[in-house]
Amino acid sequence: MRCSFFDIMNWTRKDLVGIRGLSAEEIQLLLDTAASFKSILGRSIKKVPSLRGRTVVNLFIEPSTRTRISFELAAQRLSADVISISKESSSIQKGETLKDTALNLQALNADFIILRHTAAGSAQFLAERLQSSIINAGDGSHEHPTQALLDTFTLRENLGSVEGKHVVIVGDILYSRVARSNIWALTKLGARVTLVGPSTLVPDMFKQMGVEVRRDLDAVLPDADVVNLLRIQHERQQKTMFPSLGEYIALFGLTASRFKKCKENVLIMHPGPMNRGVEIASEVADGKNSVVLEQVTNGLAVRMAVLYLLSGGTAMTDAPSPGDS
């Protein structure tokens, strides 16, 4: 188990709204703590009492499968009381504001509000106005911090370290909160990051984040240790960003034949949901280099670590046992 100077400290943050504001040491602390929780998830008794008596509310104002289910399960594994609300099942449908909705959840003693929302900045907005801890589960095109943590955790498990590794992120970067959070996490941890896509979806301005921007996927693939494919986020795009889907696939889809240009041990990632046959071919998504479902499994341990540390849990040098609080 890796240790840092945080091993003797509590993590004092109230909220997790993004990766941008975290230090490399904080990211390592979260990943080390997730490793401890992953070992718990391999035991016959998977539950610990760390959040007993605490209330976790999942407030998802946008659809989700992976993030919502794994946050629910993470809170349950930590023995918290868990409630999930969607836009359709809340009074937001009747015109109540996000702030009023959250204040009502706080009035019911919600210790954590996990927010997914279409609006960038919505998690920060609540974090500044509530005493409850706010966790960003994805806000518009801004950030998706727990996705970046589970992605870096998966890389660390497979590669030992992300430092010095070449991570290529392909596709719709402009509208992607996953890409932004991954860029922050990977560059802070010393990886080399290259973004690939058409200039409409990967404008040169991304170079300001300390990454390379390329247009020719075939030229980049032979040097990649990791290829992370992103979905085209039609729901956030205001206009057509490329001439046709066929043309996009021809230039930027990871087809079976294009995959042959990759290193033999390349890792293939996708945050989901996947559009098979568009950004990734089924043979590649289901192939031996794919860690797509490992990413999902690791999301549970990572989200347990986030809840545990935000609740005031101390850094662990070993996994807690079912009797520890």
155 vs 151: CA distance, rounded Å: 6
Smallest gap from Cβ 116 to ligand CP, in A, equals: 7
Smallest gap from Cβ 233 to ligand CP, in A, equals: 11
72 versus 225: smaller Cβ distance to ligand CP: 72
136 versus 194: smaller Cβ distance to ligand CP: 136
Per the CB < 8 A criterion, the answer to whether 291 and 152 are in contact is no
Using CB under 6 A as the binding criterion, the count of chain residues that bind ligand CP stands at: 10
Smallest gap from Cβ 136 to ligand CP, in A, equals: 11
Rg from Cα positions in the chain: 20
Q: Quick check: 187 binds ligand CP (CB under 6 A)?
A: no
Using DSSP's 3-state secondary structure scheme, residue 216 falls into: coil
| Selected binder of ligand CP within 13, 66, 87, 261 (CB under 6 A) | 66
283 vs 258: CA distance, rounded Å: 11
94 vs 322: CA distance, rounded Å: 43
255 vs 241: CA distance, rounded Å: 21
78 versus 178: smaller Cβ distance to ligand CP: 178
Using DSSP's 3-state secondary structure scheme, residue 227 falls into: strand
304 vs 146: CA distance, rounded Å: 10
282 vs 102: CA distance, rounded Å: 41
What is the pattern of x (binds ligand CP, CB under 6 A) and - over residues 146-165?
-x------------------
71 vs 64: CA distance, rounded Å: 11
48 versus 56: smaller Cβ distance to ligand CP: 56
92 versus 274: smaller Cβ distance to ligand CP: 274
Tokens representing 95 are: 């015109």
Smallest gap from Cβ 30 to ligand CP, in A, equals: 17
Smallest gap from Cβ 68 to ligand CP, in A, equals: 6
| Selected binder of ligand CP within 33, 58, 67, 101 (CB under 6 A) | 67
Closest CA to 12 of 266, 313, 254: 313
DSSP character at residue 171: S
144 versus 165: smaller Cβ distance to ligand CP: 144
Smallest gap from Cβ 275 to ligand CP, in A, equals: 13
Residue environment code for 56-68, b if the CB has 16+ CB neighbours within 10 A, otherwise e: bbbbbbbebebbb
In this chain, which stretch among 236-244, 253-261, 267-275, 315-323 interacts with ligand CP, using CB under 6 A? 267-275
| Selected binder of ligand CP within 272, 279, 292, 302 (CB under 6 A) | 272
317 vs 3: CA distance, rounded Å: 7
36 versus 181: smaller Cβ distance to ligand CP: 181
Q: Quick check: 138 binds ligand CP (CB under 6 A)?
A: yes
Q: Quick check: 271 binds ligand CP (CB under 6 A)?
A: yes
Tokens representing 99 are: 């702030």
Half-sphere exposure of 158 (CA within 13 A, CB side): 22
Q: Quick check: 132 binds ligand CP (CB under 6 A)?
A: no
145 versus 272: smaller Cβ distance to ligand CP: 272
Number of residues assigned to the chain? 325
Smallest gap from Cβ 231 to ligand CP, in A, equals: 9
Q: Quick check: 18 binds ligand CP (CB under 6 A)?
A: no
Per the CB < 8 A criterion, the answer to whether 238 and 220 are in contact is no
| Selected binder of ligand CP within 10, 23, 39, 65 (CB under 6 A) | 65
Per CB under 6 A, residues contacting ligand CP are 64-67, 138, 144, 147, 271-273
